[in-house]
Structure 1
């Protein structure tokens, strides 16, 4: 079991709207006691702007909670949005861990995908028979991909401690399912 103070310290360390992030996490947790957490800060570069995001993932005895906070420019003003989702732990269908090593074989990056079937993406394309003169309708083929959440930590960007923390967080979900 961890304390809310530990989570708040990790949120404060990001320096990214800590009051809003902490409030969203507190509301999402309610009376649940956190067992494990991971805080991921990410900076992305769009064509004309730099955007920051913070994702806080928390495991409790009964729930998996995700709080995501990001900002965007709307009519020349920065708008910050906090979104939270709580999923019953027994709804989690998969935890996928991908490890990448550097040329020396040392762990360099970890990507954790957690799926519960909340969001899926469908990609369709038209089928054909290969005959360029055929006008027949051959229907469609497609792929459905789970798009719930992915968490990433890199030794070069966030440090080895963050990589190890993400692995420990992923194991806490796998062990307790």
Structure 2
């Protein structure tokens, strides 16, 4: 199994270059938003989607820098049929790590009956919540009696929405899954330090259960089924 080593700030530009999605532009915006903070652990996630005859790419960059989490999301769009006129939009959000309420990770293993310590994770979903915005999904409540036609009201779930990234070994490679797993460990440590800091943070913000998916705040839903 590849060691779960995390890329530090000095490798951020190299990872942006490897992604190949306007790396200089993205780097300049990140530098501007961090405003002198030194970047630490980071995750660069490039996704490609096919829509009929069109190819759409977008990139999400997560950077831990001292007391903050930087979230940057970049989309581009062709304005003409020949692809000569292109527009890119970069959205950023700087989140105080003290405001992060949830770091949720979902692991998918193939053939779990044969699991051994160190087996490769086939798919990992990383969800991060910080703003406390809630989405409520409602549906008519059911009844176990098939002959019952009474109105049982509604049932549903309430879940926080901030950001989710799904990384697959099949689509993105094992190294990408390992990188996402390592970043998840880094942000868990940074946002929920052990000891007295944990107790102080718990007193400031009561725990909130997050169920279901967490969605991107930047227009495009980054959760793909």
TM-score of the alignment, normalized to the shorter chain, above 0.5: yes
Aligned-pair CA distance for 1:160: 1.7
Select the residue among 53, 57, 64 that pairs with 2:58: 53
Matching residue of 1:92: 100
Say which is worse superposed, 80-89 or 17-26, in terms of deviation.
17-26
> Superposed, which structure 2 residues align to 1:79-158 within 5 Å?
79-103=87-111, 105=115, 106-117=120-131, 119-124=133-138, 131=149, 143-158=157-172
Aligned-pair CA distance for 1:16: 1.0
| Structure 2: unaligned runs, 5 residues or longer | 1-6, 193-225
Distance, in Å, in 2 between the alignment partners of 1:125 and 1:83 is 33
| Structure 1: unaligned runs, 5 residues or longer | none
Determine helix, strand or coil for the equivalent of 1:34: coil
User: Are 2:26 and 1:21 equivalent residues in the alignment?
Assistant: yes
Aligned-pair CA distance for 1:139: 7.7
**Normalized against structure 1, the TM-score is what?**
0.82
Which has the larger share of strand? 1
Q: Flag the 1:120–1:47 CA change in 2: closer, same or farther, 3 A.
A: farther
Report the RMSD for the aligned CA atoms in angstroms: 2.6
Matching residue of 1:168: 182
Which 4+ residue blocks in structure 1 deviate beyond 6 angstroms? Answer: 126-130
Distance, in Å, in 1 between the alignment partners of 2:54 and 2:80 is 14
Q: Flag the 1:131–1:70 CA change in 2: closer, same or farther, 3 A.
A: same
Q: Flag the 1:74–1:119 CA change in 2: closer, same or farther, 3 A.
A: farther
Distance, in Å, in 2 between the alignment partners of 1:118 and 1:48 is 38
Count of aligned positions: 172
Determine helix, strand or coil for the equivalent of 1:21: helix
